[in-house]
């Protein structure tokens, strides 16, 4: 019997999705990315070796797993080439197992140019990867799609029109450097092999696998609170990071997914600007940042740190119809004397906290629930009952083995 699973973040990204997708991929036929782009940074540690994936689905390290990049993803061919080459150097190959939708919108160098100059003025704190401008062009129906790489004449015409438009924006609105159209065309030409090797009708491919009873895993990028519609707008990314994004970003109906694993850290972090009600600015923030190695996997920026916001988490569980909670980085809390969680807000919108005594002992690497200290068990059980969702995975370290499976 096939079991289709969605794994997604319930906070502002960086919840540890890469490790969990990698761990669940063992039993899976294919792993699919359905939104976002190379703004993601999914960290996986296998046999002491750390790999960060930005575009490839996190199942890529399992040689038999099929890798899918769906139409909802905005695709930088430069980033794709760099990532594939890096993985090939590690002995990971993609022949007959990488499927990239012809309907993916491409990120061009001029999208990145616009993203960077604009963010200087608008201060969202984007990753500077061209994500927002690429989605803008998609919605405005002027994007270059991966499938356009198959028609050189048409590609030239479309790229010329689009980059001329970008240059006008750069020059007239921002007095910034413009891009040479011929250079961009030559660069795209050098990536033609990616189209020849990997272009696919992803929707049909997934349908066929489903007909054959194969299990599919969908991997979210960023997190629910960065969703363009349901996040902390305008401090959000430009895609639907919530569960509905799978339907539009791959081409399957909502009932296609059997199990929805929502991932949350045992505390909270955020990179970039925007509201973060439980943010800390004291020594606890420093301890979380240091013990949790809280630096962005894509940009290297320090992450803002704070306590877990259970009101926001409960909303994210509802937004995504989460069936299973996965709590990550529990071990980061090992040396805190007390741990707080937000359980409501006052009339001014300030968080009201409930305090828990810390367990002050090592949980790192523990892989059974029974072996956890009682105080850690109580912390987890409180979270489960507050958000009305059972925890089925608890992560106690970056490696595959440092994981507790509860069901």
C-alpha closest to that of 13 among 37, 41, 53: 41
CB 130 to ligand IMP: min, Å: 8
Question: What DSSP designation does 301 have?
Answer: P
Provide the CB-side half-sphere exposure for 97 (13 A, CA). 19
Residue nearest to ligand IMP (CB): 272
Which residue, 155 or 308, has its beta carbon nearer to ligand IMP? 308
Which residue, 39 or 199, has its beta carbon nearer to ligand IMP? 39
Which residue, 126 or 200, has its beta carbon nearer to ligand IMP? 126
Which residue, 29 or 265, has its beta carbon nearer to ligand IMP? 265
Give whole-number Cα distances, 244 to 6, 57, 227, 228, 264, in Å. Answer: 11, 18, 11, 12, 19
CB 211 to ligand IMP: min, Å: 33
Structure tokens that stand for 153 in this block? 């004449």
C-alpha closest to that of 278 among 232, 331, 229: 232
CB 53 to ligand IMP: min, Å: 11
Give whole-number Cα distances, 125 to 80, 122, 286, 296, in Å. Answer: 23, 8, 21, 12
Q: Which residues are catalytic?
A: 14, 42
Chain residues that interact with ligand IMP, rule: CB under 6 A: 12-14, 39-41, 124-127, 129, 131-132, 221-222, 226, 235, 237-238, 271-272, 298
CB 381 to ligand IMP: min, Å: 28
What is the rounded CA–CA span in Å between residue 139 and residue 286? 41
Which residue, 74 or 387, has its beta carbon nearer to ligand IMP? 74
Which residues touch 19 (CB under 8 Å, ≥6 apart)? Answer: 43, 44, 45, 58, 328, 395, 398, 399, 400, 403
Is the backbone peptide bond immediately before 197 cis, with ω within 30 degrees of 0?
no
CB 302 to ligand IMP: min, Å: 12
CB of 33 closer than 8 Å to CB of 69? yes
Q: Distance of alpha carbon 288 from its chain centroid, rounded? A: 21
CB 271 to ligand IMP: min, Å: 4
- Bridge partners (DSSP) listed for residue 261: 7, 324
Rounded (5°) CA angle 345-351-357: 125
Q: Length of the chain, please?
A: 407
Burial class (CB in 10 A: 0-12, 13-18, 19+), 248: middle
Structure tokens that stand for 36 in this block? 């976002």
Which residue, 231 or 351, has its beta carbon nearer to ligand IMP? 231
């Amino acid at each position: 019997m096939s079991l289709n699973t969605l794994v997604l973040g319930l906070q502002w990204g960086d919840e540890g999705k890469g490790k969990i997708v990698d761990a669940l991929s063992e039993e899976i036929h294919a792993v699919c990315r359905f939104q976002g782009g190379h703004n993601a940074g999914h960290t996986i540690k296998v046999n002491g070796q750390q790999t960060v994936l930005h575009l490839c689905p996190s199942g890529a390290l399992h040689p038999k797993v099929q890798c899918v990049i769906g139409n909802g993803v905005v695709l930088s061919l430069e980033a794709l080439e760099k990532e594939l080459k890096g993985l090939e150097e590690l002995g990971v190959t993609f022949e007959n197992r990488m499927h990239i939708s012809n309907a993916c919108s491409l990120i061009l160098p001029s999208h990145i140019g616009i993203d960077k100059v604009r963010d200087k003025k608008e201060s969202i704190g984007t990753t500077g990867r061209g994500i927002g401008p690429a989605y803008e062009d998609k919605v405005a129906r002027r994007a270059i799609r991966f499938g356009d790489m198959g028609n050189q004449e048409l590609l030239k015409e479309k790229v010329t029109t689009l980059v001329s438009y970008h240059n006008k924006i750069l020059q007239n609105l921002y007095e910034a450097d413009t891009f040479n159209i011929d250079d961009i065309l030559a660069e795209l030409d050098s990536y033609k092999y990616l189209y020849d090797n990997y272009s696919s009708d992803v929707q049909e491919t997934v349908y066929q696998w489903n007909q054959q009873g194969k299990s599919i895993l969908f991997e979210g990028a960023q997190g629910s609170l960065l969703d363009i519609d349901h996040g902390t707008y305008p401090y959000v990314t430009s895609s639907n990071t919530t569960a509905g994004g799978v339907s539009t970003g791959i081409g399957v109906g909502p009932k296609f997914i059997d199990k929805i694993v929502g991932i949350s850290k045992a505390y909270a972090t955020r990179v970039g600007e925007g509201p973060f009600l439980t943010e800390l600015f004291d020594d606890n923030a420093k301890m979380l940042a240091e013990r949790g190695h809280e630096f962005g996997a894509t940009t290297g920026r320090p992450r803002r740190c704070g306590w877990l916001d259970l009101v926001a988490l409960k909303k994210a569980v509802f937004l995504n119809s989460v069936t299973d909670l996965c709590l990550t980085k529990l071990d980061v809390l090992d040396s805190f004397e007390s741990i707080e969680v937000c359980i409501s807000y006052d009339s001014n919108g300030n968080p009201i906290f409930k305090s828990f005594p810390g367990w002050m002992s090592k949980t790192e690497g523990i892989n059974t629930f029974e072996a956890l200290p009682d105080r850690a068990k109580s912390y987890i059980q409180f979270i489960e009952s507050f958000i009305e969702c059972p925890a089925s995975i608890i992560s106690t370290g970056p490696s595959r083995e440092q994981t507790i499976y509860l069901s």
